[in-house]
Structure 1
Amino acid sequence: MKILVASNNAKKLKELERILERAGIHGIELVPLRDVEPYEEPVEDGRTFADNALLKARAGVQATGLPTVADDSGITIEELGGMPGVLSARWSGEHGNDRANNDLVLAQMSHAGEGRRNAAFVSVCALVTPEGHETVSEGRWNGELLTEPRGEGGFGYDPLFKPEGQDCSAAELTPEAKDAVSHRGKALAGLVSAIAALSPQS
């Protein structure tokens, strides 16, 4: 059974592969966007992470006929009223420019001292099937914003995020350690049973 993962982010694909493997789910082939006929991706104009995840998953099903997993995620910072939120990937004005996004957030938070740097990563993952079944799962990872980047791993705002109960940034965690506690890991884990139902071995 093929499932489209509506992303070309290899790290997201690997994350879901590891989660399915740990859950003992076999017979599922995860297909990235680059391996299907190109189609017009929807404008992510939803007001919530769930809105955008469903927009992307529905578009994938419509274009390919494959069950599709899509996610929308970002960082919410209490001091900034919950922003960047759904605008996280394009906070600096250029979509996917991690360095510019991080620099802007650091500048906007330069006034905020200890106790005013609470933040959380939020991810919503959606699985939509050609039959119209929709499963939505949310994961949240609480922590605080650092005053400078730390670590070379991960992506996005990982170097700025210090998870609750950790002495390192998200970018300093191993992929396996991150999967176990991260927002996306939690959200993807919430899709496991729905994905398992699609497996030919279920």
Structure 2
Amino acid sequence: MERLERLVVLLREENQRQNLVAEKSLDYVWQRHLADSAQLLDYVPRETQPWLDLGTGAGFPGLVIAAMNPDWDVVLVESRKRRVEWLESVCADLKLTKCCVKGARLEQVVSFPAAVISARAFAPLPRLLNLAARFSTPNTIWVLPKGRSAAQELSELKKSAQSMFHVEQSVTDGEAGIIVGRYRHKPRRKA
């Protein structure tokens, strides 16, 4: 709890310098950002790592996962320099030595087998799967908070991919959904 409380303080301070989250969302930061991130742990077996969080932005959900599980390997991918600097300073402040910030576009990050892949507001689902498939193994669990568009985004996938995922209702927003599943893809052959 102390790490999460400190994260809220750091978030409020930094949000004055750069727009990490919508100002109004800070009025209910525990529900909107922390609990919304923490609920993803319900879909992942204990000790499942490494956790890869794509387009982490202000650190949601990845930074919350790392703060709640400081012994886990968590990789945060963020391309915006100022956010990367802030994320690195938060990891140092919270002593999250196993949380690594990759300051690059996802396309530039070296592939590794992720046990969990999360992305809160990264890209539409088909593009997200295409970009991140190289980090996925047959056992990788995908947990993708998609808000009110979850069912719609899932319906836009090819039928073969749709069957690999399902939508869970968010506990923090009755109208929001989380896409959960395992993505078994066939790697493209190089010409």
TM-score higher than 0.5:
no
Larger radius of gyration: 1
Q: TM-score range by the shorter chain?
A: under 0.3
